[in-house]
């Protein structure tokens, strides 16, 4: 892969995203959010590629995966008015379908094309398949980390906006804004287990799920970035001050520290 191909991919992405804006203010706000998210995830992939000291071809593949990882989100939201996969469609598989049908990657060699498509297909699964080849596995882990890094940014900002001006909040809230937290979600975090999105019952459950993402971060530079930006503290500030949440705080911070210190 070369820089000229990356520039063509950027141009295609600009045109593709522009096609999904229209007259609906709610749809436009959510499309804009994913448009900006995709571009920032590309930047996070550049950061991780640098930290991992990848060669130029792999850096360009990383950028491409970051930019394209959520192309399925645009037709998903226009059609279903939600980003919640259980109520609509699997956005990862839809992204792969879009890239194949639009022949976006046809100029690449087969190996690079398959790496991009596979990393995108598996960036949103609960657990990565065990049979992925070395480079494919690395890029899949990278995009999962880069995606989470920016989702932390998006949701932290969204919580503040919703708190400060709920009447003018235009982004989708996928789950009911209820005061309670599900005991099984809390238990999953305290025991170090990943949470299935289908088991979430409230916005507080999603906040807890986001805290639990630290268990699924693959590269220490991503964890360091999460700590530096204080994403976890921001999310915890929007959860009730209960004994269970205090235990969650202690567990999550201890885990992040141990990973960064090289103890886990």
Judge if 113 and 17 occupy the same domain.
yes
The pTM of the full predicted model, rounded to 2 decimals, is 0.89
- Domain hosting residue 229, numbered range: 175-260
Average pLDDT, the chain: 92
Judge if 21 and 127 occupy the same domain.
yes
Choose between 126 and 217: higher pLDDT: 217
User: SS3 for 9-78, per residue?
Assistant: HHHHHHHHHHCCCCCCHHHHHHHHHHHHHHHHHHHHHHHHHHHCCCCHHHHHHHHHHHHHCCCCHHHHHH
Judge if 115 and 50 occupy the same domain.
yes
Residue 172: its pLDDT value, please?
Answer: 62
Judge if 99 and 210 occupy the same domain.
no
What is the total count of domains within the chain? Answer: 2
Residue 224 resides in a domain: yes
Judge if 134 and 9 occupy the same domain.
yes
The model's pLDDT over 59-118, given as tens digits with 9 standing for 90+, comes to 999 999 999 999 999 999 999 999 988 889 999 999 999 999 999 999 999 999 999 999
CA atoms within 13 A on the CB side of 261: 7
Judge if 8 and 123 occupy the same domain.
yes
Residue 166 resides in a domain: no
Residue 194: its pLDDT value, please?
Answer: 82
Judge if 125 and 230 occupy the same domain.
no
Residue 68 resides in a domain: yes
Judge if 132 and 199 occupy the same domain.
no
Distance, in Å, from the CA atom of 111 to the CA atom of 244, rounded to the nearest integer, reads: 47
Distance, in Å, from the CA atom of 10 to the CA atom of 7, rounded to the nearest integer, reads: 5
Asked if the model's pLDDT at residue 156 lies above 80, the reply is: yes
Give which of 237, 68, 241 is closest to 155, Cα–Cα.
Answer: 237
């Amino acid at each position: 892969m070369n820089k000229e191909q990356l520039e063509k991919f950027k141009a295609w992405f600009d045109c593709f995203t522009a096609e999904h804006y229209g007259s609906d203010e709610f749809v436009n706000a959510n499309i804009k959010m994913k448009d900006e998210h995709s571009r920032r995830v590309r930047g996070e992939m550049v950061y991780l590629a640098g930290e991992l000291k990848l060669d130029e071809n792999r850096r360009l593949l990383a950028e491409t995966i970051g930019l394209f990882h959520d192309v399925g989100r645009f037709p998903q939201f226009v059609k279903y008015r939600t980003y919640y996969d259980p109520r609509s469609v699997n956005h990862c598989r839809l992204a792969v379908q879009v890239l194949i049908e639009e022949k976006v990657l046809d100029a690449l060699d087969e190996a690079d094309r398959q790496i991009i498509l596979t990393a995108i297909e598996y960036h949103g699964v609960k657990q990565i398949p065990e049979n992925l080849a070395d480079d494919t596995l690395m890029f899949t882990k990278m995009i999962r980390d880069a995606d989470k890094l920016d989702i932390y940014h998006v949701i932290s900002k969204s919580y503040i906006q919703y708190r400060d001006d709920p009447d003018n909040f235009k982004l989708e809230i996928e789950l009911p804004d209820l005061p309670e937290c599900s005991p099984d979600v809390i238990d999953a975090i305290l025991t170090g287990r990943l949470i299935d999105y289908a088991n979430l019952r409230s916005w507080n459950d999603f906040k807890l799920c986001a805290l639990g993402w630290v268990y699924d971060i693959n590269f220490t530079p991503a964890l360091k970035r999460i700590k530096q930006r204080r994403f976890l503290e921001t999310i915890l500030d929007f959860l009730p001050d209960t004994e269970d949440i205090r235990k969650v705080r202690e567990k999550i911070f201890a885990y992040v520290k141990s990973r960064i210190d090289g103890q886990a």
